[in-house]
Structures are given as C-alpha cells and as structure tokens.
Chain A
Amino acid sequence: MEFLVASAVGTMTAGGVYLLLRLRTFPVILGLALLSYAVNVFLFSSGRLAIDMSPILSKYGEASYTDPLPQALVLTAIVISFGMTAVLVMISLGAFLEADSDKIDIDETDANEDVAK
C-alpha cells in the first residue's frame, strides 16, 4: 500500500515537472495542478497511512486515530492551490489575450524589441 502511494506521488511529480517545463501556458498550468496533487498527497502521507481510523473522535470508548495534523494542513493546501491555479489561469489568459501568444518564454527577438522600446 505504501509503495502504491509513494509511486503515485513519484509519477505525478514526474509528470508535473515535465509539463512544467513545456513552453506554453496551458501545459504549465496542468503541470502545476499535477504537482499540487503530488505535494498534497505527499504531505498527507507524511502522517503515515491508516485504514478505518478517521480522526473523528468516537463516542464509544477507546479507538485509535490517524494523524489529523497533516490532514488539516493538506485541507487548506488544497483550497489554496485552487486559488493559486486560478490566479495563474487568469494571468496566462491575460497574457495570451494581450500578446496573442501563449508562449511562456520571452524570445530573443521580443527581448530585443523591449530593449529598443
């Protein structure tokens, strides 16, 4: 089980990084989304895996619980990463509409034009 989670985290990280290194905005956004998944699962897994031990206190005597702290951290991380993705989407959309190109790198020619300005 641990291996499955770890390999999933690894695969998503690899995929995320690869897409992050692409040259257009949309793949980069997808890459970031993948990387967010990977990071969230990674953080979550740092509390160790547990089955049927939800951190909901039982009314009926003693029970064991999984580590609630990483879950709390990841919960806000999920929401914040949505906010981050949204900002990124808006910025790339704006850049595309303004420049009519969704390339993320500044070309040599563009850079020269900027200097000329």
Chain B
Amino acid sequence: MSTSGNLLFLIALLPFIGALVPGLMIRAGRNATATFTAVPTALALILLLTMAPAVLNGETIQAEIEWLPQLGLSVSFFLDGLGLLFACMILGVGLLITLYARFYLSGEDPVGQFYTYLLLFQGAMLGIVISDNILLLLVFWELTSLSSFLLIGYWKHLPEGRQGARMALAVTGAGGLAMIGGMLILGNIAGSFNLTDILQAGDAIRASEWYLPALILILLGAFTKSAQFPFHFWLPHAMAAPTPVSAYLHSATMVKAGVFLMARMWPVLSGTDAWFYIVATTGLVTMVLGALIALFKDDLKALLAFSTVSHLGLLTMLLGFGTEAAAIAAVFHIINHLTFKAALFMTAGIIDHETHTRDIKRLGGLRHVMPLTFLIGTVAALSMAGIPLFNGFLSKEMMLEEASHTYWAGSAYAVPVLATIGALLSVAYSFRFIGHVFLGPVRDDYPAKPHDPPFGLWAAPALLVILVVLIGVMPFLADGIVAAAASAVTGAELDPHLKIWHGVTPALFMSIIAVVGGAALLALHAPLDRAWIKARRPEAKAIFDGLVASIVGLAQRFTAGSHNGAISRYLAIFTVTSVVLGAIAFMGGGLSAPTRDMLPIPAVIAVGWIMLIVATISVVTMHHHRFRALVLIGIIGLTISAGFVYMSAPDLALTQISVETVTIMLLLLALHFLPKETPRESPMGLKIRDGLIAVAAGAGVGGLSFAFMQRDIPTISDFHIANSYEGGGGTNVVNVILVDFRGYDTYGEIIVLGIAGLLIYALMHALLEGPAARRLRNRDYAQDRSRDRHPLMMVVVTRVLMPIALLVGIYIFLRGHNQPGGGFVAGLVVAIALLMQYMASGFAWTQDRQRIEYHTLIGFGVIIAGLTGVGAWVFGAPFLTSSYTYVNLPPIEEFELATAMLFDLGVFLTVLGAVMLMLYSLSRIARYAGSTVNVTPMDYDPGSRVDDGSEST
C-alpha cells in the first residue's frame, strides 16, 4: 500500500474523529465549535487536493484493509475522477456550510450537536464516494440516511422538522434496504464485492438473468435518495431543517448520492433498454413535474426544493441516455447545480434570517434594502434559468443538445419537447425567484426590517457565485475535473472541450424558446396561480401518511389477532409450523437406504420400554391429579436413566438420576402452594385438536429419530476419542469434552445455570415483597398433614448419611476425568446430600448451620472456571487451554493433576450453588407462608419431654 493510500484512510476517518469534538464541547460556543468542525474538514480537503494531480492524470489511488474476508467485506477505498469530484464538493461545500451555519444558527441552538451531526454526515457521504467495496458503501449509505435524519430533525421542537425527518428516513431507508438486495445480487454475479472487480464484470452482469431485479433494486435505492418521481415527496418536507442543512444535503451531497451511485454503476448497468427506459423516463418525468410544482410554490425553500427535484431529474435523465456526451453533460451539471443551488439556498436562508419570512407573496422589492443579497441571488438564479455567461447555461445547452437527438419508443419529439418544457418551467420559476422577491416596489409590511447580513453570512454564497460566473465565462477551467470524472463514469478516455458557443444548433433554439416562454409564463403567473390553487391535485404527504397509517393498522390487526394473550395458541401455532416445515423438508429430501443393523431387544429392556410408554400415557390421562402425575414423571426419568446405563452412557445416567431427584423435589415444593388438582375445563374439541397436534409432532420426532439411528454419517467424534488421553489427559471422553475440548461451551452453560439460580432468588424476593406475601400468609393450607414432620429416624439417618454422601460427591468429582462422574454430577450429589438435611431437620435448623451463601458458591465457581481459562494466557496459550501432569505421592497410587480439574471444580461449585439457591428460594417461600418452624432438630424431642414430665410430677 502506498503512502497516498494510507492518506485515503486518514481522509475517510477525519470527519468521524472530528465529529467527537463539537459534541463534547457543547457549551463552548459557536466560534469554537465551528472552528473545530472546520479544521478536520479543511485538513481532509488539503490531503485530498494533494492527491488531485495524480487523479487528474488518470491514476486511481487505492487502499485496502481486510475486515471480514469470509463475507467479502473489506475496508477498501479508491479515488478516481468521479470520487475526487464528489469528495471535493462534499468537503468544500462542507467548509462553506460550517462558516454559514456559524452565523445562521442562534446562540440558543445546541450548536455542538449540529456540528457533530454535520461531520458525521460529511464522513458518511465521503465514505460513499470513495468506497471500493459495495458492502462498505452500503454501510456508509445507511449512515447518511441516519445522520441526515438527525440533521433534518435538528430543530426537535418543530413538529414539521420531526415529521420531515421521519419521512426522509422512511423513504431513503426503505430504498437503502432495496439497494442492499440489489448490491448483493450484483456481487454474486460478479463473484466479488469489490467495486473495481464489479466494474470490470459489466458484460457478465448485463447478460445475467438477475440483471433486471438487481437493476430495479439498486435504482430504487438511488431514486429514493435522489428524490425521483414518485419518491420525490420527502425532499420538500425535509426543508423543515435549518437552512444550512438544506443547502448542504439538498444541493451538494445527500440527494446527489443517488446520482453518484447511478454514475458509479454506469459502466455496469447502463447500455440496455431497461436502463434507458427506466432511468431516462423517470428523470424526464421528475424534471418536468418538479419544475411545474416549483413554479407554484410560495415558500422560497419549497420552490428551491422542487427545483432541486427537477434538476436531479435532469441529471438522472442524462445518465439514463447512456451516451458518453450525456455523461459529460451530467458531470458538468453536477458541478454547476452545486454552485448555484447552494448559493440560492443560502440566499433564501439570508432572506428568512433578515425578513423573518420565506413566503414569496409577502416579499418583493428587496433589491433596494438588500443590494448585496440581490446581486448574489440574481446571479445564481440566472444561472439556474440557464442564461448565457453563467455556468447553468452551458450544461443546460449540453442537456438540450443530447435530448434533441434522443428517440423515445420510436418518437423523435417526445424527449426534446418535454425537455424544452422542463427548461421553460425552470426559467419561469427562476425569474419568479428574482422578480417576486427582489424586484417590484419596496413594501412596508415585512415581518422584520431587512438589511444586508454580516459578512459571515454572505461570504459563502458570494464565493459560490464567483464560481458560477468564472465557469460560465471560462468553462475550460473545469475541463480537467470534468474530463477526469466523466472518464471515470464511462470508463473511456474523454475530452470534453467545454465552451460557450456551440454554433447555431437545435439546442440554441430550444433554449431561446425556453427563455422567452418562461418569461411569458411568469407574466401569466397570477391567473395561473389561482387556477393551480383551485385545481385538485394529489397531496403526497397525505398519501404517505395514509400509507403509513394503513401499514400500522394492518400490523396492529395482525398482532392483535395472533398475539391475543393465549399462550396455548402460540404454542399450538409454533408446534404446527415446526411439524409442517419438517414435513416439507422430509418430502423434498427423500431418504437414503438404512445402513445400520438394528440391535436386538432383550426382555428387560422391553419391560422398561413398556413401563415408559405406560407411564407417559398415564401422565397425559391422569395429569389432573397433579401429585400422581408427578410420581409418574419420576418413573419416566428413572427409566431413562436405566436406559442410559444400558446404552453405554454412564455419565448421562448419573446426571439424569441426580437431576431427576432435585427436579421432583422442586416440583413437590411448588405443588405445596399450587392447587392439587387441575380442573377439567378443556372442551372436547380442544382436546381433539391438541391430541392431533401432539400425535403429529410425536410421529414426526419419533420418525426422525428412527431414521437417524438407522443410518451412519461421518462425525467429528473420532478426533475426540483419539485425542482425549494424549491431549486432555483423561480417559473419560465425555468429561474431557466438557472440561477441555468444549470447555468454552461448558463455561457458558454454568454461567447460564448461575444466572437461572440468581433469577429465581430475585423472583422470590420480589414475590415476598408484593401482594403475594399477604396472600401467602392468609392461605388455608390442608390440615391433613403429618403431625411429625421431622421424624426422628429420618433425622438420624440423614445426619449419618451426610458425611458419606459428601465423600461420594468428592469421589465422583475426583474420578470424573477418567471414570464416569465429574463436576456436574458431583455438584448434584452434594446438593442432594444437603437437601436431605433440609427435608429431614427442617429449613431453619439447616439454615442456621449454613456457613457459605449459595450466591458466593455460584460466583466462586464461575470465577474459578474463568481464571483457569485465563491462566492459559500466562503461558501464551488461548483461553481454556488445559495442561496436565502425573504426580507420584507415596503411599497413594500415581495420580493425575490437570488444570481441567480446576475448571471442573468451578463447574462443581456453580452447579451446587445454583441448585441449592433454587430450592432454597422455594423453601423460603414455604417458611414465609407461616409454616411453623422448628429450631430444634426434631419436632418431638424425647429427652426434653422426659425432663418436662419429671419437673411437673
């Protein structure tokens, strides 16, 4: 990568880095924030200009950093003529806008925010024009939509600002989504997401059957952004933004992004009939329609907005023609439109600022009170009208020239006539801007007393107007940049030779018709205006609002219909959908022949199977008796554990049997508070429906399982078996997978378990502080409970068992790496040992003897497991890399120490803590419910009773 390539990264980054500063120094005042906005912009511009000579000589500067190569996404930039032109416009106008906004915004506006948004937007625009990767371009594209939303809605207190911002975001965002689709198709056809590669693949793309969908999707993005008919309506509404924003977004940058994209994609997408008819026609219609509406707008900014729409249509049309001369005209007009339109917007802003109104009908005669503004506005408007010696004339002549020999569906007149009408209307509204604002008698009813603004406000438009005249008189000045940009658009070496006088051509006559006709039309403006106001015409905002409202209504009906609070219905819908999708997949795939022989069925297993099936069916039929159902669930769980033993899964059997125990305890505890019977309330129809769904799901899952077990597929398990001992130092492959190969998964899982434990604890606390607590205390519990809740025998036995159970837990933990066992099972076994104490001796007695909080256990568990993983870093290995060694400590047999065991200790502690915390929380509710609590180990203490007796007698 060259140095200039590196500079390209810097240019792309500068606005974003700069954006941080004004936002942070929000109280520093307008001068400081404006300066800190101008500095990065100016720096980027200077850097850009150092590259300009090379680019103008036809070089392309490239820079690339891989980002996500798997997705084809890289941070790559390139700078060619087109990119240079746009980048200069973005940064140059950005600088002028920074200056203008400093004087335009009042001290009460949050100026820091404004400049931050402005720089964000500037960076996003810059990113679009220099991206060499279309995925990256899409990122920047969306970023412009978002940052322009912030800018348009900058005056948050104005409803129009908020609505306009929302509309702009909805329209351009929707277009952006369509464009993502189009770009992905394009990248798929070209086999690369790099713009440089795609630009080379034009022929393949145009020949592809996916060309048309891609074209339409990309054009949707471009048309919405560049406000082409019928998406033009958002632009006028976005005029609620402060004028500097309008001047920046709607003359030079945002709306030109669509045009830029069409220009960028020109070598790939243009040259087909589809391109010509879609793009050129849309452009033509937009040009005429925009100009027509502009003529009848009374708001200065609305007039300029529709004029922008019209000029964007012109540019689109030129690009749609698909000829090289048209491309030159388009590039040239992009520059010219920028200069006069930005100046006009700033003029409108000045007028608004000084007279406090933008209503043309309340203005007039400003020539006398604001001579400087008059000069600037008039020159810019004349350029917009296309009057000779101003730059607008040149590109408009070129446009008319191109239009004059364009055939549309066999007709030689359609395009030239409509283009002339567009030009004529354009002359009319430009003259109106001059005539109705500046000319005429001075009025005495301006809302404020107008006078020329301070230097800071008129400096920027004045500079632009000087450019208007310079290019208009000496067009060869722009030769270089136009040549470079147009060459970049077309991919061919072009030499534009811009000049003022082209001889007597059809375009000259069309121009003359336009100017004379436009002047005449303006003379008739008053009666026409009355007719226009009377005429019924579709109001775009009303249509848009109606559309949005109907979509919202549809979504609400759909949500209300499907999301009606009936969980059983959601579950039914979900199950049916899964079954149907599975069935469709099954139909589509077919089934290969079975490759495995079936295992024989021993009699014991058959008995177990019958038990399981009968128990399952009984749960379903007897589920109304909740306690009975719970017993049956226990049978099922135990049968499954036995099945695991038989089918070579000792670890699973151990886990299942201990989980079974705690699950049943948990459900028993819960059942203490819940009703003991489920009422029979389902109607027969519902039962039949659910039965059918259930049978279908069961048949599907069972069939899938059966099909699965009959066939061999290659797995990665051999790796685990082969490396378990050498790599992980353990012979129990399942445990080694858990604590070593897939240690990261296990780490995540114990965290989830810990969170579940804490969640239950938190729920319990929330519950005991709410209205439920009162209800709990006043509940009527069944009276037929055992009188001796803590039987002597059980208390004694569990206490004797406690150390033994702990020993078993430790044993299971220690052998886990090599034999069935491990942290999960050990945690569960120890939890059961502790729970037995709770059951036998009572909650309070056990709680008094608890030394360590269960949360602490969870926390330590996760920390130990995490630190074990982190420990690997110390030795330069990745997270959770394990290590092991053999230790020989006489008289004990040689044993192994592995870091994985430390990790397993973390698992053990977390499981123990989480399980205990869950059951502890439930039992606390029981205690709160007013159950009498024993502090002595036994309800019935024979010793004390004897003493009492002896004293009394």
Interface residues of A (CB under 8 A from B): 1-27, 29-30, 33-34, 37-38, 40-42, 44-57, 59, 65-69, 71-72, 74-76, 78-80, 82-87, 89-94, 96-98, 100, 102, 104-107, 110-111
Q: Is the CB of A50 within 8 A of B640?
A: no
Contact with A26, one of B568, B674, B717 (Cβ below 8 angstroms): B674
B695 interface hit (Cβ, 8 Å): yes
Contact with B738, one of A4, A26, A72 (Cβ below 8 angstroms): A72
Interface residues of B (CB under 8 A from A): 564-569, 571-572, 575, 596, 598-601, 605-606, 609, 612-613, 616-617, 619-620, 623, 626, 629-630, 633, 636-637, 640, 643-644, 646-652, 655-656, 659, 662-663, 666-667, 670-671, 673-675, 678-679, 681-682, 690-691, 693-695, 697-699, 701-706, 708-710, 712, 715-717, 720-721, 724-725, 731-734, 737-738, 742, 745-746, 749, 752-753, 756-757, 759-760, 763-764, 766-767, 770-772, 775-776, 818-820, 824, 828, 911, 914-915, 918, 921-922, 925
B830 to chain A, nearest CB (A): 14
Question: Which B residues lie within 8 Å of A44 (CB)?
Answer: 644, 647, 649, 652
| Known contacts A71-B649, A83-B752; is-contact A105 B567 (Cβ 8 Å) | yes
Instruction: List 7 A-B pairs, Cβ < 8 Å.
Output: A10-B701, A33-B663, A41-B643, A79-B753, A82-B662, A90-B764, A92-B674
Looking across the interface, which residue of chain A has its beta carbon closest to that of B739?
Answer: A72
A26 to chain B, nearest CB (A): 5
CA distance A104 to B775 in the complex (A): 20
| Known contacts A82-B662, A106-B566; is-contact A94 B746 (Cβ 8 Å) | no
Question: Which B residues lie within 8 Å of A1 (CB)?
Answer: 598-601, 605
Majority secondary structure, B binding face? helix
Contact with B674, one of A5, A7, A96 (Cβ below 8 angstroms): A96
Question: Which B residues lie within 8 Å of A102 (CB)?
Answer: 674-675
Q: Is the CB of A79 within 8 A of B659?
A: yes
Q: Is the CB of A2 within 8 A of B709?
A: yes
Q: Is the CB of A74 within 8 A of B652?
A: yes
Q: Is the CB of B733 within 8 A of A10?
A: no
Number of A-B pairs whose CB atoms are under 8 Å?
A: 315
Q: Is the CB of B702 within 8 A of A71?
A: no
Name which of A14, A44, A87 has the most chain B CB atoms within 10 A of its CB. Answer: A14
Looking across the interface, which residue of chain A has its beta carbon closest to that of B570?
Answer: A105
Question: Which A residues lie within 8 Å of B569 (CB)?
Answer: 105
Q: Is the CB of A79 within 8 A of B911?
A: yes
Q: Is the CB of B620 within 8 A of A56?
A: no
Q: Is the CB of B655 within 8 A of A75?
A: yes
Q: Is the CB of A3 within 8 A of B706?
A: yes
Question: Which A residues lie within 8 Å of B693 (CB)?
Answer: 17-18, 21
| Known contacts A9-B705, A37-B637; is-contact A18 B756 (Cβ 8 Å) | no
Q: Is the CB of A76 within 8 A of B565?
A: no
Q: Is the CB of B734 within 8 A of A98?
A: no
Majority secondary structure, A binding face? helix
Question: Which A residues lie within 8 Å of B712 (CB)?
Answer: 48
Question: Which B residues lie within 8 Å of A86 (CB)?
Answer: 666, 756-757, 760, 918
Q: Is the CB of A68 within 8 A of B721?
A: yes
Looking across the interface, which residue of chain B has its beta carbon closest to that of A52?
Answer: B648
3 tightest A-B CB contacts, nearest first: A10-B702, A14-B698, A106-B565
Question: Which B residues lie within 8 Å of A7 (CB)?
Answer: 609, 613, 702, 706
Looking across the interface, which residue of chain B has its beta carbon closest to that of A82?
Answer: B659
Looking across the interface, which residue of chain B has its beta carbon closest to that of A48?
Answer: B709
| Known contacts A59-B731, A66-B649; is-contact A23 B568 (Cβ 8 Å) | yes
Q: Is the CB of A54 within 8 A of B649?
A: yes
Looking across the interface, which residue of chain A has its beta carbon closest to that of B623?
Answer: A27
